[in-house]
Chain A
Amino acid sequence: MGLVDNVLDGSQRALARLATHVENDDGVGREGLIRLYPHTGKAHVVGVTGPPGAGKSTLIGALIGELRGRGLKVGVVAVDPSSQLTGGATLGDRIRMLEWQSDAGVFIRSMASRARAGGLAPATAGMVHLLDAAGFEVIVVETVGVGQEEIDVSRLVDTLVLVQVPGSGDGVQLLKAGLLEFADIFVVNKADLAGAEELLRGLRSMVGFSAHQRPDWVPPVLRCTATDGVGLDKLANAIVAHGEFLRDSGRLHDRRCAIARAEIADYVNAVIRQRLSAPGAGSAGVEAMVEDVARRRLAPLTAAHTLLENWEDPGQRNDQSG
């Protein structure tokens, strides 16, 4: 039996091996994902994002307990940044979730972001599919520590939890566009610290202000102290409630279409980037085009159009360069 059959059979070893192939984007990983995809779509995929040190991993560690208590099998994909200098990474999320090491209903996988900005790794979507096919009912995706704009995760998950901590700015921060617009659930973690009340009030007022945009789901604003397990039951309830809301309102299909669209676009982008990235990686036609753009004989936009129109044979040139 190959890895795919063993994953469907419940083997964690096969799951972990296939996960590596998916991360490395090799032939085994690609074939595995294609064959497993029909077995996916059952899991509730939950994103957890927020700034570095906000307590995302610790919160997830505690959340696992709540979800296990509800009888749910939990998969976690935790992303930490890769060095853009060496390619190396320190993956330090798992250390906050060690309580669940011996529970067969929990599978935790750390991922380095490799060469991608935006808060996720290139293969995060694939990793979610693997855990979904392997039968994990809730899959939690932890992003790298993010700032204001890393919204990639919102295009991958059913439910997005944004974790914030007191002391990270005044009310003007809450007026800004970005991640705040995408969260389905807000968590103020480390709520025992000074400034928590102010942040909670600010978030509640912000949520109230935008309630007209999403009248059927008003994002709850929850206070948690993850290290003491405070507020985790409410967070688990809110996550389950949002999942039910998506199913009952028919929004789940809308989300899944948005996710599918984003994932297809990712693959298309990958093909294009790969063809253009390294000098000499593309065909002679591509290289000639790069040369022409560099020498100002061709505008970049014209080159892009030409490339897409003649994708199979970029040596064929539309004579638009004048």
Chain B
Amino acid sequence: MSLPVAAPGSQPPIRVLVAKPGLDGHDRGAKVMVRALRDAGFEVIYTGLFQTPEMIATAALQEDVDVIGLSILSGAHLALFPRIMEALHEKGLDDVLVIAGGTIPEDDIDDVKQLGIAAVFGPGTPLQTAIEFIREHAPRRSDVA
């Protein structure tokens, strides 16, 4: 007799890191997202304010998240996002889905997406839009023991 594995079709929870890079101290939006993602059935790791690219990449690595949500309101996205994507790449985390929210001007969105950030959710985006995007695009990985 052996231990039965989980019933086929039952998906493990999606793990999401919500982080605020840079120096703006406004985390209400990030906290609203944490709560909404939790209520959507995701496991959400919240590391809060003032995260450096290195801190974000380390947390993503150790927590083995499927998704990283970056919240930024400082206007420094074009300075910080390339460094975050580089730090993730250095740790071999190219398959993590990265999305961004906050105050990112329309004109910058193409540049942000060029970096490999899959989606930008600006002010007024319904929470459900981000949740559905994650459900649809979160990577599914396979490994061998």
Contact = CB atoms under 8 A, between A and B. Distances in A.
B59 A101 contact: yes
Q: How large is the interface on A (under 10, 10 to 19, 20 to 34, 35 or more residues)?
A: 35 or more
B128 interface: no
Contacts of B37: 88
Given A20-B15, A95-B48, A281 B43 contact: no
Contact of A271 (B3, B39, B43, B44): B3
Interface of A: 2-4, 12-13, 16-21, 23-32, 35, 82-83, 86-92, 94-95, 98, 101-102, 107-110, 112, 114, 267, 270-271, 274-275, 278, 281, 311-312
A91 B45 contact: yes
A28 B143 contact: yes
A271 B3 CA distance: 6
A88 B45 contact: no
Interface in B37-58: 37-48, 51, 54-55, 58
Interface of B: 1, 3-7, 12-13, 15, 34-35, 37-48, 51, 54-55, 58-59, 61-64, 91-93, 141, 143-145
A202 to B, nearest CB: 35
Nearest to B50: A98
B54 A101 contact: yes
A31 B41 contact: no
Contacts of B35: 90
A86 B36 CA distance: 11
Closest 3 CB pairs of A and B: A31-B145, A16-B64, A88-B38
B94 to A, nearest CB: 12
A281 B144 CA distance: 28
Nearest to A274: B4
Contacts of B51: 98
Given A101-B58, A112-B13, A278-B7, A89 B63 contact: no
B145 A90 contact: no
B41 A12 contact: no
Given A23-B12, A110-B63, A270 B143 contact: no
B59 A3 contact: no
Contacts of B12: 20, 23-24, 26
23 contacts: A12-B62, A13-B93, A17-B64, A18-B145, A20-B15, A20-B64, A21-B145, A23-B12, A30-B5, A86-B41, A88-B42, A95-B46, A98-B47, A101-B54, A102-B54, A109-B62, A110-B63, A112-B13, A270-B3, A271-B4, A274-B3, A275-B4, A312-B1
